[in-house]
Structure 1
Amino acid sequence: MSAASAGTAAAPRTRPRTAVAAVISLAAALTLGGCSTPYVEEKPELKVSGAFMPQPVGDMAAGFLTIGNSGTGPDKLTSVTSPLSDDVQIHEVKDQKMKRVASFEIPANGELRLERGGNHLMFMDIKREPKQGDKVAVELHFERSGPITVDLPVEAASHNPAHH
């Protein structure tokens, strides 16, 4: 036996601590930061089209329009205001029954259609009866987006764009 092996044990080999620290730091960063793509905020991009109001008869009126959302995030129509009425409601139609709702969803890359025979805006106790050719201003309010002001052209009481 040699002297080195007989009486003394060889000193253990040590790895550079900086390499181990670098691996631990990288693992922690991946765990905390996630391994996914960078965060991209989902934003709605709203545009209104096809807006109109049939000429009302009496003290109520209806409004119809389409809100398109070309954005990456959803939104909700939460309320509508107008100088024509102090009470503009959002109505849903299910099973041929109309009821007031608090909001309507507008999906990302989708649309909300408010149309005859379906969901619509309802102007209660209107202050005046607008005539065909007039325009009625409305302001649409959303959960995430800023308000959008739209003029609803007043059309003939029987106007239905689905039949044109």
Structure 2
Amino acid sequence: MFFDLSHQNVSLVNYAVEPVIKEYDRMVYLALSEFFFDSGLFSYYTAGVFQMHIVNEKMPKDLEMLLRTTYFGFIMMLNPALVDAPLSLQLAVNSPPKTSIKTSGATVVMTAIVNVMVLPPGQPPVQLSSMTMETKFNAKVSMRGKRLSVHADLRRFACFTSLFLQHVH
């Protein structure tokens, strides 16, 4: 299992059954359970890796333009003090991601909270939106010659949002 070095006693309960190996005429056996991946994701979660604050030079220009020209643009036009203020995204996964492994591939499900803020100079941040994002990733692992190949795709992505209309003085 994986664990965070600063929290070695914080771990998940392993509900997996012991693998039963029926053939012994092969060279290498490798079994990775859901627990293996869940413990890795859990250690990253407890270490705070799945939390980000994207602001200023970390904000990609195309993302900032997209945010300003979508429905946030309407909110900012209502208040001219917000039009040129920098934007900020705060992203935090709010529970450990969960893995499931089937013959069709592996799936990782995670939920995150995303807060969109505008940062007017000399004033407190103004929250424009709070979104709950639910994502589901699929991954298929295969051998191609001597290479291990992983094909990942986004199966489901849903956002639930709340908009905030506030006045800045």
Q: Which structure would you say has the larger RCO, counting Cα contacts within 8 Å and 6 or more residues apart?
A: 1
State TM-score, norm by structure 1.
0.27
Name the structure with the higher helix share.
2
Greater CA radius of gyration, 1 or 2? 1
State TM-score, norm by structure 2.
0.26
